[in-house]
Amino acid sequence: MPAEPDHVIKPLPPGFQRNMVIVTTLFISLMASIDLTIVTVALPYMAGNLNATTDEITWVVTMFAVGQAIVIGITGHLSRLMGRKVLILTAVIGFVLSSVACGLSQDLDSIVLFRFIQGLFSGPLIPLSQAMLIDAVEEEERAKIMAFWVVGVMGGPALGPLLGGYLAQDLDWRWNFWVNVPVGAIALILILRFVRKTPHIPLRTDWLGLAVLVAMLSSLQIALNQGTNLDWFSSHAIVYLFLIFAVAALIFIGRGIYLGKRHIIDISLFRDLNFTLCCVMTAIAGSTFLALMIIAPQLFVDGLGWEASTAGIVIGCYGVGGVTGSFIAGRLQAILSFRQSFIIACTVMGSGWWWFSRLNEDIGLWQAVPPGVLIEMGMMLIFPLLAARAFANLSPDRRDEGAGLFNLTKTLGFSFGTTAVGTLYYNGQLANWTRNVGEISASNPALNQYLDDLGSAVSYDTQMAYVAELLQKQTQLETIFQIAEVMAICTFSLIILAVFFKSGTHGRGRGLAGWLDVRPFGRFTKAATYAGSK
């Protein structure tokens, strides 16, 4: 057999060192993912302090996403060029310094610039954390360990608004950025102590490919993030942005096929069918997760009129499903094949969405909990399976680049998903409002009964105001439940794609013993046995 490259990192035996590598990667991924959403609640405070309009302040979110997407894609190239440990140290230091600069900004232009730089430095953190976890454990343990990585990556965006709202309201919006200083200091200590080095490899950077990549991702992310504000294709700016994206994408793909590994991103990784399917499925499944985070608050607060604290309790209960799903994700494959595990995960998540679509305005607090629990449980079953399966056929020296591509497609899928949900909500509101208004007539018995119940003491104008308010509420509820149906269909459709996965030998055969080994970091006492077996 050919010798492995000298820069390949082998799995660690169970024990303290491996446990701390896992803790370090989880900490890094959580730090990076929280910053995706931590400023969303603080935007009104920032707009007032920086003399910016509501539309202008959204560039703080947009430019972070642009910077992050660009660097996520070239993480593999940067890792080979600089070495993994040097790259992640550089990323954390740059992330902390740019966070400080964001907090010190006195005008909109400054904070948008520093948020873009912050996004650039945050880009490598999530894919490198995934690659380090893949390297740390044996193949049969990856799905179990990936479950905890997913909790960090997916839990961060959910925790971000909660933490950001507290900091902005009780301290100052600038602490949304300054909080990264102590967090970053802890991350640096962990990285210096526990992250293993990979040597840097002299490479020639494809600067033209990088320029095309920047144009492609920047135009796409700006179009997706600003499309609603600019009324989509009625805006010449949005049309031009999509044209730039289309031309840049064609050039990028063409050069990638022609240059192969000399290209800034080795798109030949997509020749691996398992890897490609995992990327696509992760993007679709992640979009449905974000849909829940978008429409659930709208349903509970705006549609049902609940207090924000009550809605927060319900959405917080959804986390029980996520924890349960992450707990059993790796163990599911101990007794079932990958396809069987994936089909069960999609069925759980799709059933949750279908149940959610069948809710109504008369539901109580605890009736709203089970659908969301099923959705998050299914999500946390799906993600670890895909995150581990994507690397089943990739050689160790290509994992950093694979992690970069995997997370780039996930990020773009999330952007498309958020945009799609917003578009469905806007268009659905218009269509349902038009239909509902068309049913209002003097001969409508339901309307006449409603007006009679209001009583003759209520003036005509007040009656019509009540009717309009009722129609608006009904329209919103119908739209939300229709979006939930679409999410259910999208989730169930993933089952069809599962049949295209190539068969593998891993993931089956450990039986009940594998299911019962519930400790996430393995047994410390296994270290000697592990070493002896090698």
Residue 504 has pLDDT above 70, yes or no: no
Domain-located, residue 4: no
Domain-located, residue 479: yes
Q: What number is the average pLDDT over the span 467-485? A: 85
Rounded Cα gap, residues 282 and 386, in angstroms: 7
- Span of 102-111, 258-267, 521-530 with lowest mean pLDDT: 521-530
Domain-located, residue 140: yes
Q: What number is the average pLDDT over the span 147-171? A: 72
Report whether 220 contacts 53 (CB < 8 A). no
Domain-located, residue 277: yes
Asked whether residue 200 falls in the same domain as residue 231, the answer is no
Asked whether residue 284 falls in the same domain as residue 240, the answer is no
Asked whether residue 134 falls in the same domain as residue 232, the answer is no
Domain-located, residue 200: yes
Asked whether residue 143 falls in the same domain as residue 214, the answer is no
pLDDT at 351: 95
Asked whether residue 214 falls in the same domain as residue 173, the answer is no
Model pLDDT for residues 201-235, shown as the tens digit of each residue: 777 888 898 899 999 988 988 888 777 777 777 88
Secondary structure (H, E, C), 441-499: CCCCHHHHHHHHHHCCCCCHHHHHHHHHHHHHHHHHHHHHHHHHHHHHHHHHHHHHHHC
Length of the chain: 534
Residue 243 has pLDDT above 90, yes or no: yes
Q: Choose the final residue of a domain: 204, 221, 243.
A: 204
Q: Helices (H), strands (E): how many in the chain?
A: 22, 0
Residue 117 CB contacts under 8 Å (≥ 6 apart), including other chains? 67, 94, 98, 101
pLDDT at 245: 92
Asked whether residue 287 falls in the same domain as residue 234, the answer is no
Domain-located, residue 466: yes
Q: What is the CATH number of the domain that holds 39?
A: 1.20.1250.20
Asked whether residue 311 falls in the same domain as residue 448, the answer is yes
Domain-located, residue 529: no
Asked whether residue 200 falls in the same domain as residue 307, the answer is no
Domain-located, residue 528: no
Asked whether residue 341 falls in the same domain as residue 432, the answer is yes
pLDDT at 348: 93
Torsional class of 15: left (φ above 0), alpha (ψ -120 to 50), beta (otherwise): left
Confidence of residue 18 (pLDDT cuts 50, 70, 90): confident
Q: What number is the average pLDDT over the span 251-260? A: 88
Asked whether residue 117 falls in the same domain as residue 59, the answer is yes
Q: What is the largest CA-CA distance in the chain?
A: 91
If one counts the domains in the chain, the total is 3
Asked whether residue 186 falls in the same domain as residue 332, the answer is no
Residue type at 425 in one-letter notation: Y
Closest to 181 in 3D by CA, of 275, 111, 236, 102 = 102
Q: Choose the final residue of a domain: 167, 182, 204.
A: 204
Q: Choose the final residue of a domain: 204, 220, 242.
A: 204
Residue 332 sits in which domain range? Answer: 271-520
Asked whether residue 365 falls in the same domain as residue 499, the answer is yes
Whether pTM > 0.75 for this model: the answer is no
Mean pLDDT for the chain overall:
79
